[in-house]
Amino acid sequence: MLTYRPGELFRLGQLQETQRKLYGLELFEFVNVDAVESGQQLAEVPTRVTVTEGKHRKLTFGAGYGTEEKIRGTIDWRHVNFYGGARTAGVEAKWSLLDRGVRLNFVQPYFFSPHVSLSVSGQGWFSNEPTYTLETLGGRATVSRQFSGSGPRSARPPMTTMSASFIHERETYTIPPETLLDLTLRDDSIALGLDPRTLRGKGILAAVAFNLQRNTTGNILDARRGYLAAFHAEKAGHWLSGDFNYYQVNLEGRHYLTIGKRFVVANRARLGSLDGPTPDEDLNCQQSNLFRECVPFFKRYFLGGSTSLRGWGRFEVGSISGSGLPLGGFSMMELTSEVRVPIWRSLGGVAFVEAGNAWEQPWDFNFDDLRADVGLGLRYLTPIGPIRFDFGYQLTPIDGLLVDGLPEKNRFRVHFSIGQAF
């Protein structure tokens, strides 16, 4: 994991990066990498690496509560030196009202290079979202490459991560009949990729994904300065076989600025689109709504919730059906800006404004059709992150929206969770 070799030009940032990488292996309780002071001017700089061995088997329990997940619990067992070589193998189990299941993980940190790692995961997972349920059984393999820059001694160096993944999962998803009463017509159900008799869809998702991320924040869980830029591209079907055929592109940017060592101005922008094949590329899809049939319903964009357009509940923002129920969209844009201020000791406050929407057509971004909200929040800092309370108010309500099967009456939402919204 050393980032420098004898004979190279001495750089303090490389010592700091080596220390960070050794800590990241989770093998050691203590790591220190420093230059040995001799009191003389030497042509070569001796360095010393000090480590204290830690426990290699770790068992973690977690419990929490949020307005979306309600009560949640997790169990995570990991072996951080699995058959030597700092390999990590683990089992994670989670239960909440939103999702539950078991996931197996394996990480090879040194994959032909100290900068490249291989991770393999398999899962049996169930998601219970407001607009659909999803059962996932399968796994994925990911190769990641990290590029580190230099930074000040008190801050984590900028980090750029590039990864490529292969995904192979069996997906079974259902839209509850009471949720889409107006989709009883056969053509409408087929256009959503569903069996019109059961409102259920299923198939094999075979896809490749590429991710690129640049992070200079130092602490993404409660960032105060720097930026994060992320790009995601995903292609399913076609030469990969499988039952779904689509491509997806997502972009996200975040920026954090501290003013006067007290105020933090945080901004985020997200953009994404889903599209499917043309009739010449895939004759198995319906000719009338080709891209809809090839894109599974659970891949659609849904906005609204504790981390997205907080004036609405989870997945309530997007295109709606004829009866007023959320159907998501194939294009998405979201803009958020908030000011975080200290109030007293560990207590802080937040004021935010947000705008965004999800549209029915791919690559359809309409600035004249954005849903907006404003709000206030409280943050209480703890060792595991800020406890968050947010109150969001809709500036542009969605006409005809149904919530829990009833017409929406309130133009506000209350959210409670742990961690910043972004």
List beta partners, residue 215: 159, 228
What are the φ/ψ torsions at residue 156 (nearest 5 degrees)? -70, 135
Residues 385/62, Cβ–Cβ less than 8 Å? no
Least confident of 121-125, 241-245, 298-302: 241-245
Is the pLDDT at 87 greater than 70? The verdict is yes
Distance CA 137, CA 266 (A): 37
Closest by CA to 21, choosing from 109, 123, 134, 95, is 109
Contact partners, residue 20, CB within 8 Å, separation at least 6: 156, 157
Instruction: Report the pLDDT value the prediction gives residue 290, as an integer from 0 to 100.
Output: 46
Closest by CA to 230, choosing from 209, 255, 251, 210, is 251
Instruction: Report the pLDDT value the prediction gives residue 175, as an integer from 0 to 100.
Output: 83
Kindly report the average pLDDT of the chain as a whole number: 88
Is the pLDDT at 281 greater than 80? The verdict is no
Instruction: Report the pLDDT value the prediction gives residue 183, as an integer from 0 to 100.
Output: 55
Closest by CA to 304, choosing from 171, 159, 413, 194, is 413
Instruction: Report the pLDDT value the prediction gives residue 187, as an integer from 0 to 100.
Output: 57
Instruction: Report the pLDDT value the prediction gives residue 285, as an integer from 0 to 100.
Output: 54
Distance CA 340, CA 116 (A): 37
- Select the highest-mean-pLDDT range: 23-27, 333-337, 400-404: 333-337
pLDDT in tens, 363-411: 999 999 999 999 999 999 988 789 999 999 999 999 988 887 788 889 9
DSSP state of 395: S
Q: Which two tokens stand for residue 252?
A: 């996200």
CA 192 to chain centre: 25
Say which residue the tokens 């088997």 belong to. 57
- Higher pLDDT, residue 283 or 260: 260
Closest by CA to 179, choosing from 200, 157, 159, 163, is 200
CA atoms within 13 A on the CB side of 62: 15
Contact partners, residue 194, CB within 8 Å, separation at least 6: 175, 183, 200, 201, 297
Mean pLDDT of 85-114: 95
pLDDT in tens, 212-237: 999 999 777 788 899 999 999 999 98
List beta partners, residue 51: 31
Is the pLDDT at 184 greater than 80? The verdict is no
pTM: 0.88
Least confident of 177-186, 305-314, 321-330: 177-186
3-class DSSP state of 294:
helix
Is the pLDDT at 328 greater than 70? The verdict is yes
Least confident of 175-179, 183-187, 242-246, 379-383: 183-187
- Higher pLDDT, residue 357 or 418: 357
Strand ranges (E), 109-245: 116-128, 133-148, 159-174, 200-215, 226-236
List beta partners, residue 410: none
pLDDT in tens, 113-154: 888 999 999 999 999 998 899 999 999 999 999 886 654 444
3-class DSSP state of 100:
strand
Structural domains for the chain: 1-54 (no CATH), 129-418 (2.40.160.50)
Is the pLDDT at 161 greater than 70? The verdict is yes
Instruction: Report the pLDDT value the prediction gives residue 284, as an integer from 0 to 100.
Output: 55
